[in-house]
Amino acid sequence: MDVVRTVVEECWADSKGLDRMETLVAPGYVHHTPFGDTDFAGFRQGLAYVDSVFAERTYRVEHVVREGALAAAYLGWTATRRSDGEMVSGRGAYHCRIDDGRIAED
């Protein structure tokens, strides 16, 4: 399975997945955010916030477009909002650069 699909579908939903994702990122991995760049610990911290808002998250890649080392995935997600137990869903995109089969930046 492509590393992009693996990271999104199998790694983002829980801490066990994040432990696996850490083995799928390249040395020097950079996570870009609106607040500045961070490393994998910062990525993990960001998903801890998401987990504080949403439980039972699942992610599904609809399609991936790759051009050289660059990849973009269109994805859907579902979760239970912790504040009221409501099931919610959405769609989004994930963009990354792959180096030697591992995520180098996103």
Is 90's pLDDT higher than 70? yes
pLDDT-based confidence at residue 5 (cuts at 50, 70, 90): very high
Spell out the residues 6+ positions from residue 27 whose beta carbon is closer than 8 angstroms to its own: none
Is 72's pLDDT higher than 70? yes
24 within 8 A of 3, measured Cβ to Cβ: yes
Q: What is the pLDDT of residue 63?
A: 96
Q: What is the pLDDT of residue 70?
A: 98
Using one digit for the tens of pLDDT, what is the confidence trace for 6-39?
999 999 999 899 999 999 999 999 999 999 999 9
For all residues of the chain together, what is the average pLDDT?
96
Three-state DSSP class for residue 21: helix
